[in-house]
């Protein structure tokens, strides 16, 4: 397991490369050019700038999260081919600086959705929170009207610069079914994967977060059966998944350790985090400890260990603790604590394996 840590760039994050360098066992950063709009080709000088910054601290830039997919590709519009060509050229540029994995998603409109950025927990820390009924009770047509009538209307996970596009995007997706989205994803993969393979980069799709339809939008990377179908769309070792325990785990029917064991050779990148799921469907993100949430992190790490996982892993979201002022879900302290918990499990499994060989 190669441990990495997400970094949003100088001036965009409270976490510095010096901080990351000091976390035991972290080898590299997970990065992106977040200011480049989806669909545009990434400029080489900006890519080289990030590499130079990371090199100065002895950190690699093997994992990119994310090269975002333009909505025209997801919608299957005629303009998608131009955006796919830009994506291909970006892959080629990233390969030149040693990138090995590109994480992306195929979620319509939103990368993730929460209802509270700073829900206070019993211990006084705060974390990202999702109120199920609040989201499920919003009618898509009513939501379009709300956005149109009140341009300042927003929810966590909505990018402010895209608010003006939301109404038109919701209207565009009204007639897009799950099967349509599957077809559009297959078209994207059939064009992208040969380029990724030629350049030695593994594409790793992120599951939908949360893994069910919201606001009437189709979502398809949601469970074991759908992941199996996805991997068969283009059966290549360069077509893989970013297995996110937190995204998939909020549906308690999803058996994450079983997924790891089944898809082991197609998981180049792992997000490991815990969530507490309530009976009413609400969930809140917690510390990584198994006893703090609804997901058995020990069994997840054990599954990676037993399958000989050599891919990249990062502690995903964390709480906001010790009065840290940070990007929601991305505080330094709790994610660093999470890494030490993950290493503790991994090291104990390594010790046990060595003892069994004696």
Going by DSSP bridges, is the β-strand pair 275-277/283-285 parallel, antiparallel, or unpaired?
antiparallel
Residues catalogued as catalytic: 206, 244, 271, 316-317, 330
Q: CA dist 273 to 9, 29, 189, 244, Å? A: 22, 17, 28, 8
Phi and psi at 333, nearest 5°, equal -65, -50
CB 313 within 8 A of CB 3: yes
Tokens found for residue 346: 């991994």
The answer to whether the bond into 210 is cis (omega within 30° of 0) is: yes
Q: CA dist 168 to 109, 149, 153, 290, 328, Å? A: 11, 13, 15, 42, 27
Can you tell me whether residue 63 is helix, strand or coil? strand
Classify residue 11 as exposed, middle or buried by CB count within 10 Å of its CB (0-12, 13-18, 19+).
exposed
CB 300 within 8 A of CB 261: no
DSSP 265: G
Tokens found for residue 248: 């998939």
Measured torsion, CA atoms of residues 223, 227, 229, 231, in degrees rounded to the nearest 10: 180
The answer to whether the bond into 66 is cis (omega within 30° of 0) is: yes
CB 156 within 8 A of CB 114: yes
């Amino acid at each position: 397991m190669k441990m990495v840590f997400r970094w949003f760039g100088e001036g965009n994050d409270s976490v510095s490369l010096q901080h990351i360098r000091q976390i035991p066992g972290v080898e590299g950063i997970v990065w992106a050019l977040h200011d480049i709009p989806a669909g545009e080709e990434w400029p080489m000088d900006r890519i080289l700038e990030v590499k130079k910054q990371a090199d100065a601290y002895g950190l690699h830039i093997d994992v990119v999260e994310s090269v975002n997919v333009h909505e025209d590709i997801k919608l299957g519009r005629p303009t998608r081919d131009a955006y796919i060509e830009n994506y291909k050229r970006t892959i080629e540029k990233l390969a030149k600086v040693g990138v090995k994995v590109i994480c992306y998603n195929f979620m319509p409109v939103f990368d993730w959705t929460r209802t509270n950025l700073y829900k206070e927990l019993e211990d006084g820390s705060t974390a990202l929170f999702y109120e199920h009924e609040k989201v499920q009770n919003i009618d898509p047509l009513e939501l379009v009207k709300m956005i149109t009538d009140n341009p300042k209307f927003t929810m966590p996970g909505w990018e402010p610069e895209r608010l003006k596009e939301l109404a038109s995007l919701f209207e565009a997706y009204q007639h897009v079914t799950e099967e349509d989205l599957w077809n559009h994803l297959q078209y994207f993969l059939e064009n992208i994967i040969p380029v990724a393979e030629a350049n030695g980069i593994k594409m790793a799709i992120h599951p939908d977060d949360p893994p069910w339809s919201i606001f009437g939008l189709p979502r398809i990377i949601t469970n074991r059966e759908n992941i199996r179908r996805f991997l068969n769309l283009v059966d290549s070792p360069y077509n893989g998944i970013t297995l996110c325990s937190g995204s998939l785990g909020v549906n308690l029917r999803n058996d994450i350790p079983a997924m790891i064991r089944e898809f082991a050779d197609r998981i180049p990148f792992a997000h490991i985090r815990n969530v507490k799921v309530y009976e009413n469907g609400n969930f809140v993100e917690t510390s990584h400890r198994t006893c703090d949430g609804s997901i058995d992190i020990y069994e997840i790490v054990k599954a990676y260990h037993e399958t000989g996982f050599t891919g990249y892993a990062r502690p995903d979201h964390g709480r906001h603790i010790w009065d840290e002022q940070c990007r929601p879900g991305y505080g330094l302290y709790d994610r660093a604590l999470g890494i030490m918990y993950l290493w503790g499990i991994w090291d104990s499994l390594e010790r046990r394996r060595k003892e069994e060989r004696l």
